[in-house]
C-alpha cells in the first residue's frame, strides 16, 4: 500500500515536471483508465457531395488537438462504427514537425496551420526570429471577411492564440488576451475569462470589449441566444471543464458562431478547436480521449449542416499533432467498447489525418506539410 502511494506520488511529481507548462494535466492524470466501456451513441446524417461553387467563400478550420488516426478510430468504434467524419471524402496526411523539433507542440503546430510558416516550439504567431507573422484570421479580416474562434480550452491557449496573437512564448496568457484587442474578430467562445479580467496591469479587458461593441457573456444559454453582432463568450475562468462536466458546449458554440458569421456577405474564416483530445492523450485516458473526440465530431456535424446548406463553405478537419502515441488494441462495435494503449505521455511525431469537405476540398489530399494547409486556404480565399 505504502509502495503504491509512493508510486502515485512519484508519478504525479514526475508528470508535473514534464508538463509543468499547464496545470490541467495534473487533474487529468488522476483519472487514468485505458478502457472506454461504451456509452450513448448518436445517429450520423449523410450530407450531399455536390457543390455549385468551385472556390469556397467561407472556411471552417477544425483542429482536434492531439487527434491522430487512433483517436478517430477509437471514437468511431465507440459510436458503433460511424462518425460525422464519414462525410469527408477528401483525405490526406499532415507532417507536423516544427522548425526546431521533430515533435511539435501546439503553439508551433498552431502557428504552422495559422500562418503557413514553420516556427519553434512555444511560438505564438511569430517566426523563428520572434517576428510577428500575419495569420489567416488577420488576413481574412483585412479583406472584410468575418472571423471567429471557438475552443474548449481557454481562448488564450496555444491553438486559438496562434490565430490571433503574436507572442514569443505560449505562456504569456495576459499578453495574448491583450492581443485580442488589436483585432476586429467578430466572435470568440471559450474559456480564459481571468486572462481578460485578473491582470497584472490592472486592466479589465471585458470593459474594452464592451466599449468596442461586443456582447460579453459567460452563460452558454445566453451565448446560444445571440443571433448577430460581436460576441465574446468567456465561459470558464480558465479552461473549460472536461466533457460532459463543462458548461461550455462545443457543438452549440460552433452552431452559434456559424450563424452569426454566415451573415457576412463577403464570407468568413473560423477556427474551431476540440482542445481536450490532447489532454486525454497526455493522461493516457481512453475515456477522456473518446468523449472529447465524439464531442468534436458532433461539432463537425454542425459545421456540415451549415456547409451543406450554404454550398460555398469548405471544412477542413485536422490536428496539430498526435498525443499519447495511441493505439487501439481492442474494441467492440456493438457495445462501443474501446481499449487504448499508449507509448508516451507527450506528443508523437506521426503524421495526422486531414479531412476536407466542400468546394476546394480536393486541394487537401496526399502527404502535405502542415504549412501547406494554410497556404492552400490563403490561396483559395484569395487572401
Active site residues: 106
Residue 376 has φ and ψ, to the nearest 5°, of -65, -40
- Please list the residues that pair with 332 across neighbouring strands: 337
Cα–chain center distance at 282? 16
Smallest separation (angstroms) from Mg ion to the CB of 128: 21
Position closest to Zn ion via CB: 278
Cα distance between residue 201 and residue 172, in whole Å: 13
The site for Zn ion (CB under 5 A) is made up of 278
C-beta of 150 vs 216, nearer to Mg ion: 150
Q: Which of 144, 145, 162 is nearest to 153 (CA)?
A: 162
Rounded Cα distance between 311 and 305, Å, is: 10
Candidate ranges 22-30, 98-106, 250-258, 279-287; the one touching Mg ion (CB under 5 A):
98-106
Residue 275 binds Mg ion, judged by CB under 5 A = yes
Decide which of Zn ion, Mg ion, none touches 322; Cβ closer than 5 to 8 Å per partner kind.
Answer: none
Nearer to Mg ion, 166 or 239 (CB): 239
Residue placing its CB nearer to Mg ion in the complex, 106 or 348: 106
Partner from Zn ion, Mg ion, none binding residue 174, C-beta < 5-8 Å depending on class = none
Q: Rule CB under 5 A: is residue 286 a binding residue for Mg ion?
A: no
Contact 346, 91 (CB under 8 A): no
Q: Which is nearer to Zn ion, 275 or 363 (CB)?
A: 275
Segment 200 to 239, residues that bind Mg ion, using CB under 5 A = none
State the CB neighbour count (10 A cutoff) for residue 125: 27
Q: Does 276 bind Mg ion (CB under 5 A)?
A: no
Contact between 167 and 124 under an 8 Å Cβ cutoff? The reply is: yes
Question: Is 323 among the residues that bind Mg ion (CB under 5 A)?
Answer: no
Contact between 323 and 347 under an 8 Å Cβ cutoff? The reply is: yes
With CB under 5 A, what is the number of residues at the site for Mg ion?
Answer: 4
147 binds, among Zn ion, Mg ion, none (CB under 5 to 8 A by kind): none
Strands (E), the chain: 35-36, 58-64, 90-95, 146-154, 187-191, 214-217, 230-234, 268-274, 313-318, 322-323, 327-332, 337-341, 347-348, 352-357, 366-369
* Nearest approach, Cβ of residue 330 and Mg ion (Å): 28
Evaluate the omega torsion of the peptide bond into residue 244 and state whether it is cis, within 30 degrees of 0.
yes
Stretch that binds Mg ion, among 101-109, 163-171, 231-239, 295-303 (CB under 5 A): 101-109
Pick from 223, 259, 225: nearest CA to 240: 223
Shortest Cβ 293–Zn ion spacing (Å)? 15
User: Which one of Zn ion, Mg ion, none interacts with residue 159, CB within 5 to 8 A by kind?
Assistant: Mg ion
275 binds, among Mg ion, Zn ion, none (CB under 5 to 8 A by kind): Mg ion
Chain CA centroid to CA 184, Å: 21
Residues of this chain, 35-74, that bind Mg ion according to CB under 5 A: 65
Could you tell me the sign of the dihedral formed by the alpha carbons of 152, 322, 261, 124, in that order? Answer: positive
- The one of Zn ion, Mg ion, none whose footprint includes residue 370, by CB under 5 to 8 A per kind, is none
CB of 106 to Mg ion, least distance (A): 4
If one asks whether residue 159 binds Mg ion (CB under 5 A), the answer comes out as yes
Interface residue list for Mg ion (CB under 5 A): 65, 106, 159, 275
Amino acid at each position: 500500500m505504502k509502495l503504491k502511494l509512493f508510486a502515485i506520488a512519484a508519478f504525479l511529481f514526475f508528470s508535473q515536471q514534464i508538463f509543468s507548462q499547464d496545470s490541467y494535466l495534473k487533474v487529468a492524470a488522476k483519472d487514468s483508465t485505458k478502457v472506454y466501456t461504451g456509452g450513448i451513441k448518436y445517429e450520423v446524417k449523410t450530407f450531399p457531395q455536390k457543390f455549385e461553387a468551385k472556390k469556397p467563400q467561407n472556411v471552417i478550420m477544425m483542429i482536434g488537438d492531439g487527434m491522430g488516426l487512433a483517436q478517430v478510430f477509437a471514437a468511431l468504434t465507440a459510436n458503433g462504427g460511424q462518425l460525422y467524419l464519414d462525410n469527408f471524402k477528401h483525405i490526406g496526411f499532415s507532417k507536423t514537425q516544427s522548425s526546431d523539433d521533430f515533435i511539435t507542440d501546439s503553439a508551433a503546430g498552431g502557428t504552422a496551420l495559422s500562418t503557413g510558416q514553420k516556427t519553434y516550439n512555444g511560438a505564438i504567431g511569430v517566426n523563428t526570429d520572434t517576428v510577428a507573422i500575419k495569420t489567416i484570421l488577420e488576413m481574412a479580416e483585412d479583406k472584410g471577411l468575418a472571423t471567429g474562434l471557438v475552443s474548449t480550452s481557454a481562448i488564450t491557449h496555444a491553438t486559438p492564440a496562434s490565430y490571433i496573437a503574436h507572442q514569443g512564448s505560449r505562456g504569456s496568457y495576459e499578453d495574448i488576451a491583450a492581443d485580442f484587442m488589436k483585432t476586429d474578430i467578430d466572435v470568440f467562445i471559450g474559456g480564459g475569462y481571468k486572462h481578460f479580467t485578473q491582470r497584472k496591469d490592472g486592466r479589465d479587458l471585458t470593459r474594452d470589449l464592451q466599449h468596442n461593441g461586443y456582447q460579453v457573456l459567460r452563460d452558454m444559454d445566453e451565448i446560444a441566444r445571440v443571433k448577430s453582432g460581436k460576441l465574446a463568450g468567456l465561459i470558464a475562468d480558465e479552461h473549460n471543464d472536461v466533457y460532459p462536466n463543462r458548461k461550455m458546449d462545443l457543438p452549440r458554440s460552433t452552431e452559434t458562431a456559424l450563424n452569426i458569421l454566415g451573415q457576412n456577405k463577403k464570407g468568413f474564416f473560423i477556427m474551431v478547436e476540440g482542445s481536450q483530445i490532447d489532454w486525454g492523450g497526455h493522461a493516457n485516458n481512453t475515456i477522456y480521449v473518446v468523449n472529447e473526440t465524439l464531442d468534436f465530431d458532433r461539432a463537425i456535424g454542425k459545421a456540415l449542416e451549415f456547409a451543406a446548406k450554404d454550398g460555398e463553405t469548405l471544412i477542413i478537419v485536422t490536428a496539430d499533432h498526435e498525443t499519447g502515441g495511441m493505439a487501439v488494441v481492442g474494441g467492440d462495435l456493438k457495445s462501443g467498447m474501446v481499449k487504448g494503449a499508449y507509448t508516451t505521455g507527450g506528443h508523437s511525431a506521426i503524421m495526422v489525418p486531414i479531412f476536407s469537405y466542400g468546394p476546394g476540398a480536393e486541394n487537401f489530399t496526399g502527404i502535405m506539410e502542415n504549412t501547406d494547409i494554410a497556404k492552400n486556404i490563403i490561396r483559395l480565399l484569395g487572401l
